[in-house]
Structure 1
Amino acid sequence: MEKLETSYIKPLLEQRADPWIYKHTDGYYYFTASVPEYDRIELRRALTIEGLKEAKAVIVWRKPAEGPLSANIWAPEIHFVGGSWYIYFAAARTTETNEGLFDHRMYVLTTDEANPLEGSWQVEGQLRTAWESFALDATSFEHKGTRYLVWAQKDPAIVGNSNLYISAMSNPWTLCGKQVMIATPQFAWETIGFKVNEGAAVLIRNGRVFISFSASATDFNYCMGLLTAQEDADLLDPGSWVKTTSPVLTTNERIGLFGPGHNSFTVSEDGTQDILVFHARNYKEIVGDPLYDPNRHTFVRVLKYNGDGSPDFVGSIAN
């Protein structure tokens, strides 16, 4: 594996939040993330993770001027399922009062082109859930023959901004069966500024299914928690999931890492190491709304593990 940067003063990619890196069977790494303008979805690819630094960013979709997908394009993820490419993302409708903030719904783009950077992407539609409410950060994975979706959503009956839910899928854009809540903000570290559980990422290793997630406001209080289920458990049973009582990754002023969160996982070039991908800022004080501060950068580290087989996020960022 090509050596990754070890200093968090120098990120892999600047001003790219909610990063998603996927290694495909063609040998390429595909990268997408939120851009500061929140107006488009970009893809880039390279044969190495470090190569993504210099890879050309190709715009594959732009938001329309009006309508339900016309504002605040957040947190795209690219997936390859059944021979087609899919991008999950959140978008909002601009209104006179809120500029589309917290009015998001989840949508799906798709293309059949072998190289998704060259594809003509079409809007497949909205990812419909049990409620028509604020929803974002969809991620998908397959386990033991079933495809699942995990996402964050506001339940109108629960006080707070977003909880985490899971459902089986009948295809990459349709949920089926029951939709169950597997996490809600309950600890002090999840409720600073906002009551938030969001940005789920799935890692299946060492006999367990791990779901990392992010919590609290998007300033230096942003942090990460972890859900764990046994790999043979019923993933649609909320009782199968255990949440850490304390965060697994937080601001570290000593190394200049502020508000780490909204991560994803990928693998090394030779497939022998798991890679942690996340965003953070390199300063604490923010002027104005943190959502409009552009300097959430993409960082990568080799993921380490604790003796019990669980991910060691703090150890992974240590130089």
Structure 2
Amino acid sequence: MTETYINPLIIQRADPFIYKHTDGYYYFTASVPAYNRIEIRRAKTLNGLAHATPRTIWRKHESGEMSQLIWAPEIHFINNKWYIYFAATDTTEIVNGLFTHRMYCLECVADNPMLSEDDWVEKGQIITDKDTFCLDATTFEHNDKLYYVWAQKDNNIRGNSNLYIAEMENPWTLKTTPVLLSKPEFDWETRGFWVNEGPAVLKRNGKIFLTYSASATDENYCMGMLTVDDSADLLDPTNWHKASKPVFASDLSTNQFGPGHNSFTVSEDGKTDILVYHCRNYTDIKGDPLYDPNRHTKIQPFSWDKSGLPRFDKPVPYNYK
């Protein structure tokens, strides 16, 4: 492929999610630095997203739930309707070492989800089997079933968050009891914080790949991966296999640090897979990395090895000032 993508594609947008719809548009959403709203933008090309005007489609509440720290929105198209999943809380305070986020869902039945804030309806909190810190939900369909994957704290397991999966009754309600897929256990998952978060799903070559991010959100942040046969029972954790090493990590030679919270899309011609992620180009962060706004959205093509596994290689250097 000869296309050269702008990098960083969009500055100061962490937790990026890009979805290529049947209307020919790419739809983009991500955390905004103020953590106070959800915006989406669209363009016919990936590079076009860099210059597309964002449209705010939802704003945080004045008080109560969904009033603070709006994090990591994702936009999905399910059963001919638009859905946005995001995390929010009612306070910026940390309780017992963690924020207090819960997961929420918005729905839009309009063909164009960018026309009006009024088109988006709150479907409420997505309830799991634990009333604990949770975030970073994604969904995917497989064999006519809708699945939900997310990160959540289990008070009986060491660490900030683990990865869980459940089948959904509808796009805002779980149908089955959540199943633990992965918890922080390797050295590269437990640097700074014990974290598994930011799951993203990729289906190819008879497999389902679930990438995720691990460790603190500084230069230690990196991506791991779980793999399952697409014919297997996805709710049986023994069917999933976890890579013992990161599949994407900081690269000193290109000054790219803390790549993660990724998603996947495809090139304009539909022939090349594209990795979407955020990254910084420095390690000297003042204060909490969470409040440093310079996690920029980046995109890059990736290939497949002979065994059918994705090869993400290294974060590409910046090519745009």
- CA change 1:49–1:190 in 2 (3 A) is same
Aligned pairs for 1:181-220 (under 5 A) are: 181-220=180-219
Give TM-score, length-normalised by structure 2: 0.95
For structure 2, the 5+ residue unaligned runs are none
Please state whether the residue corresponding to 1:189 is helix, strand or coil.
Answer: helix
Query: How is 1:111-126 mapped onto 2 (pairs within 5 angstroms)?
Result: 111-119=108-116, 120-126=119-125
Q: 1:229 to 1:96 in 2, by over 3 A?
A: closer
| Residue deviations 1:22-41 (CA, integer Å, cap 9, x gap) | 00010000000001110000
The residue type equivalent to 2:23 in the other structure is D
Q: AA paired with 1:47?
A: K
- Equivalent position of 1:65 in the other structure: 62
Give the match's secondary structure for 2:150: strand
Give the corresponding residue for 1:3: 3
Q: Give the partner amino acid of 1:71.
A: Q
What's the offset of the Cα at 1:289?
A: 0.2
List per-residue Cα deviations over 1:25-76 (Å, max 9, x = no partner): 1000000000111000000000000000110000001101210111100000
Query: Where does residue 90 of structure 2 map in the other structure?
Result: 93
Provide the identity percentage. Answer: 57
Answer yes or no: is 1:310 the counterpart of 2:309: yes
Q: Given residue 240 of structure 1, which amino acid in structure 2 is its aligned partner? A: N
Match of 2:227 in 1: 228
CA distance in 2, matches of 1:305, 1:126: 38
Query: Number of residue pairs matched?
Result: 315
Q: Which residue does 1:149 correspond to in 2?
A: 148
What one-letter code is carried by the residue in structure 2 that aligns with 1:54? H
Secondary structure in 2 aligned to 1:303? strand
Paired letter, 2:62 = A
Report if aligned partners of 1:29, 1:46 keep a CA contact under 8 Å in 2. yes
Provide TM-score, normalisation by structure 1: 0.95
Relative to structure 1, the CA distance from residue 51 to residue 240 in structure 2 (aligned partners, 3 Å threshold; closer, same or farther) is: same
**RMSD (CA atoms):** 1.7
SS in 1 for 2:70: strand
SS of 2:209 mapped into structure 1? strand
Q: How far apart are the structure 2 equivalents of 1:279 and 1:117?
A: 23
Distance in 2, matches of 1:316 and 1:303, equals: 11
Question: How has the CA–CA distance of structure 1 residues 3 and 95 changed in structure 2, closer, same or farther, with 3 Å as cutoff?
Answer: closer
* 8 Å contact from structure 2 (residues 98, 160) kept in 1: no
Q: Which runs of 5+ in 1 are unaligned?
A: none
CA shift, 1:304, in A, is 1.2
Do residues 42 (structure 1) and 39 (structure 2) align? Answer: yes
1:5 Cα deviation after fit: 2.6
- The answer to whether structure 1 residue 78 and structure 2 residue 78 are counterparts is no
8 Å CA contact 2:94, 2:100 repeated in 1: no
Cα distance in structure 2, aligned partners of 1:209 and 1:274: 14
Alignment deviations for residues 229-276 of structure 1 (CA, whole Å, 9 cap, x no partner): 011111100001111101111110110110000000001111111110
Give the Cα–Cα distance (whole angstroms) in 2 for the partners of residues 228 and 286 of structure 1: 34
CA distance in 1 between counterparts of 2:16 and 2:94 reads 29
